[in-house]
Structure 1
Amino acid sequence: MSTRYVLGLGGTVDYEIAWTPDVLDRLVAEHAITPDELDVHVPIGSERDLLRTLLAFVRDGVGGERFVASSDIVAAFAGHFPVRVTLGGTCVRAAIAMDVLGLASTVHLVSIDDHVRRLLPASTSYLCSAESDSLDPHLIVQFPAGTTIRVGSDEVVAPHPNRIIYVNDPPNRELLLHPGLPDAMADADVVLVSGFNVIQDAETLEHRLADVRKGLQRLAPGALAYFEDAGYHVPALARRVRDELSGLVDVYAMNEDELQSWLGRTVDLLDADDVAAALVELASVVPAPTRVVHTKHWALAHGGDAERYRAPLLGGITMAGTRYVHGDGFTPDDYAATGTTTPQPEGVAFAAALESVLPSAVCVPAFALDTAAPTTIGLGDTFVGGFLAAAGRA
C-alpha cells in the first residue's frame, strides 16, 4: 500500500517579482529614501515602508517574512516589476516537490482561486475550508549576492542571496480548518502541520490548535507527525504553539532563523561546539521528541530518535539543493543528479565534528552547488517535501 500523506495547513498564491536593480534605484529616488531609514522592523503601511525594509534585508543579506497593512500595497509594488505567479505555502510547495518523485498527497487549503486550480499538481488532492474564491497574493522578492542599489550617497550591496516575503492574507490569518481534516489525518501515514505563524489573534490560535490536536491524537500507531516552524507575525504566539505541539508531534523542525529566534542569540553555523551548545539549549526550550534544523550548510536531527531521520535529512537536502539550482520545474533526473554531487567540504567537517561532540545528533552536509542564478524561494518548504518523501519510503 502506498504511503498516505496529508499536508497542512494553508497554501498561497505568490507573486514572484523579477529582481530589477534599475527599477529599485528609481523607486528609492522617487521616495527619497536615505540610508538611515533602512529598517527591517518598521511597520509596513505603504510602498515606501516596504521599500525601506526590503533594502535593509538586502543590506544584511538575510531573509524573512513581514506583514503588510494591505494586499493593495503588495499588488502596487509588484506592479513595478515583471511578475511570475506561483503557488506557495509550506504544504503546497512540499506537495509539488513530492509530486516530482511520483508521490501523491492531500493538502489542506484555506483559500482557492483559478491560479490554485491551474497550478496544483494533478496528483495532489485537497480539502479546502473556503466557501468562495479569493486572492490575497504574497509578494516574494528574491535577490542575488552582490546586487547593488543606490540609496542616497550610499550603496546597498547584498552579501548573500536570500528572499523576503510580504503578506496580508486574511484566509491564512484566520486559518479556518475543513471539518474533514481530523478524519484525513487519522487515515494518514505522514502528516505535516504548518502555517500557524500567520495567525495574529490568540483566541483564533486556540481554536485552530484544538482542531489540529483532535487530528494528531487520532494518528495511527507508527504514523509520522512533522511540524515546520516559521517566523511569527506575532512572536509571542510561537510559544503557545510550542507548548501545544511539542508533545504531539514526532519532529519539530525549523531553519537557522527560527533556531536563533528561540535562543535569542546568533549561532555560528560552522562551529560544532557552538551548534552543539545551541541544540542542548533548544532541547530545553522546545522539548519535542526530535528537533530538526535545516540550513544552507547542513541539516540535522537532535533527540532520542535522531538516527531514524538520517535518510530523510538527506532527502530534504537533495530536494532543496535541486530547487536551488533548477528552480521550479525540476525533474526526477535533476533530483538524482543532485544526489551525486560532492558535499560541501565545510559541511562534511562540521557534520563529523558535531556528531563527535554531541552523539545525540545526526547531521548531513549540504551539497556544493554552483549556479549563476540560484533559487532561494521556497527552499525550506522544498526541504520539507524531500524529508517527508524519504520518511514515507523508510
Structure 2
Amino acid sequence: MTPHDLTGSGDRTVAPGEIVLGLQGTVDYEIAWDREAIDTLIAEYGIEQGEIDAGIAVVDERTLLVSVLGFLATGVGGERHAASSEIVERFAARFPREITLGGTGVRAALVLRKLGIPSLLHLVSTDANVRRLLPDDIDYITSATHDTLDPHLIIQFRPGDGARVGDREYAVREANRLIIANDPPAANLVLSDELGDRVGASRVFLISGFNAIADEAILHRRLDEIRTVAARLPEDGISVYEDAGFHNAGFQPAVADAIGPAVDVFSMNEDELQARLGRALDLRDAAQIEDALRELRSRIPDPVLVVHTRYWTAVWASESRERILDRVATAADAGDATAAGRYAHGDDVTAADIDAIAAGPRQAESIAFASDLEARLGARSRVLPGFHIDPPSPTTIGLGDTFIGGLIGSLARASERILS
C-alpha cells in the first residue's frame, strides 16, 4: 500500500457535490490545560476529592469543574451537556482560547480541502464566526434561518497535565480531549430542504450529529427523515455514519437501530465504543477487544463496523457488506494516516505531512495485536496497526473528525464502482 493509496490520491478526481457532509457544525472555544488556573478554581470552589465525577450534571461552573476533573482522573475523553451556554462562556473566559470551527463534517471538510478534494457541508447554525473562518471554497447548505452562537468548550489534555484535589495528584498519561456544550440548533437538528437533492447527486454521504438531541420525539423524527434522505443516495454511492459522545446515553440504541440498516459503514472511536458497551476496555488485549466487537456486532448487525483508536483500527464487514470490505479498509488506513498527521502537526498539517507518515513505520506492539485480533474475528475483518509518531506537542482535538475526512476522501477517489 503506497502513500498515494492512503491519502486517496488515485486516478479519479472528485467533482464538487460528490461528497456531502452532515449534519451540523460548531463554533469551538479551544483551551489548553492551565494548571495554575485550574488549581485556583479548585481552591475557589472548595472542591473535595470525594466529589470528583465525570458524569455529574453540569448546571453551573462548579459542576463543570467537577466533571472536567472526573475526566482528568479517568484519562478518557468524551462529551457533556451543559445547562446553558453562559456556563461555557464563563469557564472559557478564564483561559487563553482560540475560536475555531468544529463538528465532524466541518473538520472533515477542512482536511479534505488540504487534500484538494471538494465537499458540501450541511449546517444547522451559522454566525459571523462561521462566515469568517470557513474557507470561501467550501460550499454549504443550512437549515438556519438566523444567526446563533452556542460555543462548544474543547479542553485539550496532554501527557503531564494534572491537578491536585485534597492530598491526591491527578495526571494525564495519554493525550485526549473533552467537549462541553449547550447547543439548541444541534439539539433540534433541523434538516435543510436541499439535503435530499444534494445527496441524490452525491457519491459519498456522511451522517453524524445525533448525539446532542435531548428530546426523544425529535430524535425519532430526525432519524426517520435521515433514513429517507439516505435512501436517495445513488446505487454506486456509499453512506458513512460517524458516532459521537451522546449527551443522553439512553438514545444510543435507538440511533444504532435506525441508522445501522441504512448505512454502509458505522464508525466510532475507542471512547464511543466503551460508552456504548458501558465498560472500560484494555485496548491492547486482543481477547477483550474481540469480545467487545462481537457484542457491538450483535447490536449493529448490518453495516461494516469501523472502530478507530490511537493504537489500531478494526474494520469488520457483515456478510451483506463483504464486497466493500477491502475498499473500506484501504480508506480507514487513509483515515489513520490523516488523523496521525493532525495529531503531529495540528491545523498546519499538509498532504505532504500525511504522505510522510503513511510511508513511515507502524507501532510495533500494534502490529502483533492487529494480527491476533484479525485472526480472532475472521476473514471478513481487517485490523490496521497505527502509525508510529511521537510529536513533542500533540493535537488531540478533531482527530476522529480528521480520520473520517481521510476515510471519505479515499472512498470518493476510488476508481472502481462502490455498490452500496
Q: TM-score range by the shorter chain?
A: over 0.9
* 2:373 corresponds to 1:361: no
Deviation at 1:197, TM superposition (A): 0.7
Mapped to 2, the partners of 1:250 and 1:102 lie a distance apart of 25
AA aligned to 1:312 is: A
Gaps of 5+ in 2: 1-12, 415-420
Query: What does residue range 174-253 of structure 1 map to in structure 2 within 5 Å?
Result: 174-253=188-267
After superposition, give the CA deviation of every residue in 1:37-70 in whole Å (9 maximum; x if it has no partner): 1100111111111111111111111111000011
User: Is the aligned partner of 1:377 residue 2:377?
Assistant: no
Give the aligned residue type for 1:384: I
Deviations for 1:83-131, whole angstroms, at most 9, x for unmatched residues? Answer: 1000100010111111110011001000001111121133310011111
In structure 2, distance between residues paired with 1:260 and 1:22: 32
Separation in 1, partners of 2:327, 2:158: 36
1:61 and 1:259 map into 2 onto residues whose CA distance is 15
- How far apart in 2 are the matches of 1:147 and 1:93? 25
Deviation above 4 Å: which 4+ runs of structure 1?
none
Q: Secondary structure at the match of 1:327?
A: helix
- CA distance in 1 between counterparts of 2:280 and 2:58 reads 26
- For 1:336 and 1:118, locate their aligned partners in 2 and report how far apart those are by CA, in whole Å: 30
- Which one of 40, 44, 66 corresponds to residue 26 of structure 1? 40
Aligned-pair RMSD on alpha carbons?
1.3
* 2:344 is equivalent to residue 325 of structure 1: yes
Q: Distance in 1 between matches of 2:76 and 2:274?
A: 13
The range that moved more, 79-88 or 341-350, is: 341-350
Aligned to 2:84: 70
1:63-85: CA deviation from partner (whole Å, max 9, x where unpaired)? 11000011001000000000100
Task: Supply the distance in 1 between the matched residues of 2:359 and 2:96 (Cα, whole angstroms).
Answer: 35
Deviation at 1:12, TM superposition (A): 0.1
Measure, in 2, the Cα distance between the counterparts of 1:357 and 1:13: 42
Q: Which residue of 1 aligns with 2:129?
A: 115
Offset of residue 274 of structure 1: 2.2
2:182 maps to: 168
CA distance in structure 1 between the aligned counterparts of 2:236 and 2:290, rounded to whole angstroms? 29
Q: Is the 8 A contact 2:108 2:401 kept in 1?
A: yes
Deviations 1:333-376 (A, max 9, x none): 21112212211001111111122222221011111111121111
Are 2:14 and 2:118, in contact at CA under 8 Å, matched by a contact in 1? Answer: no
What letter corresponds to residue 156 of structure 1 in structure 2?
Y
In the alignment, which residue of structure 2 is the partner of 1:36? Answer: 50
Distance, in Å, in 1 between the alignment partners of 2:280 and 2:264 is: 26
More divergent stretch after superposition (303-312 vs 230-239): 303-312
Residue 194 of structure 1 deviates from its aligned partner by: 0.2
Amino acid at match of 1:371: P
Q: Could you tell me how far apart the structure 2 residues matched to 1:151 and 1:279 are?
A: 36
| Residue 291, structure 1, aligned to residue 310, structure 2 | no
Q: State the alpha-carbon separation in 1 of the partners of residues 129 and 325 from structure 2.
A: 39
Structural mapping, 1:299-314, within 5 Å: 299-303=313-317, 304=322, 305-314=324-333
SS, match of residue 246 in structure 1: helix
Percent identity of the aligned residues?
Answer: 45
Q: Is the 8 A contact 2:22 2:207 kept in 1?
A: yes
Larger relative contact order (CA 8 Å, sep ≥ 6) = 2
Structure 1 alignment gaps of length 5 or more: none
Amino acid corresponding to residue 165 of structure 1 in structure 2:
I
Equivalent position amino acid for 1:164 in 2: L
Q: Which residue of 1 aligns with 2:368?
A: 349
Deviations 1:306-357 (A, max 9, x none): 2232210111000100000111121122111221221100111111112222
The letter for the 1-side match of 2:409 is: A
Match of 2:278 in 1: 264
